[in-house]
Amino acid sequence: MKSIEVCLSPALFRYKSTSSDYTVVVIDVLRATTAFCAAFDSGVESIIPVSGLDELLEYKNKGFITAAERDGKKVDFVDFGNSPSVFLQSDLKGKKLAYSTTNGTQAIGLAKECGNIAIGSFSNLQAISKWLINKNLNIVILCSGWKNTFSLEDTLCAGALIESLELSGQFFRICDASTASLSLWQSSKNKLIESVQLASHYKRLSELGLHDDLNYCFQINSSKAVPIWDGNAFGDVSKL
């Protein structure tokens, strides 16, 4: 059997116990990993995660489509913000997207040391679970959180993923964070929206009027996308 470990924030990633033959699943429900899936559903060919805005501007000057937000707000010079609902309304077939966010792409930057990175969200829960089960490696779930702190929605999604993986009989939990994530999910899944409305980032985005995104981000299995890192960019392996 393979192990499941959870890092409840990027600040804890350095302390993970899993060290070889593993896949990092990065989760940023609100909104980066949900938006990645939506972009692939809209036809994007690849997504390059970028940490800084200066580097992102270089990609824009090279002709890339760009997307970025800081503190939930779209950056001025980019083509898209971090909105899954906007991506779903766009025709992006064959486009290459360079992307930078407050939390999600920062977590991806940390995960690059592993090499094996997958993108998880409520929207692609079933699809990413199936891929991970077929891959059959140890798993570290990295919750992007909010500026290196705990986030409720990412932890709930981690718990949902753990539940799905453990049902396969191929995985087991190795840390208290994974047990806590599963417990939180199981106590909240029948009242998910009610539970996440208590989250600070949910409230932050609600105050910005991003209600379409908030509604979409908690729709389970609305996407079949399986975004996987190939060393240079993310591609959707569900289309291969």
pLDDT of 20 = 86
Q: Measuring CA to CA, how many Å separate 73 from each of 7, 33, 69, 82?
A: 26, 16, 5, 8
Domain boundaries of the chain, sorted by first residue: 2-231
Inter-residue contact 120 to 28 (CB < 8 Å): no
Burial tier of 107 (Cβ tally within 10 Å: 0-12, 13-18, 19+):
buried
Mean pLDDT of 54-59: 96
Interval 25-45: pLDDT, tens? 999 999 999 999 999 999 999
Take residue 129 and report the two structure tokens written for it. Answer: 């679970």
What is the topology classification, in CATH, of domain 2-231? putative 2-phosphosulfolactate phosphatase (3.90.1560)
| pLDDT band (50, 70, 90) for residue 95 | very high
Written as one letter, the residue type at 49 is P
- So what's the pLDDT on residue 129? 98
- Does the pLDDT of residue 240 top 80, yes or no? no
- Give me the mean pLDDT over the 46-73 stretch: 96
**pLDDT value, residue 239:** 84
Tens digits of residue pLDDT in 105-162: 999 999 998 999 999 999 999 999 999 999 999 999 999 999 999 999 999 999 999 9
pLDDT at 181 over 90: yes
For residue 206, pLDDT over 80 is answered with: yes
Per-residue model confidence (pLDDT) at position 113? 87
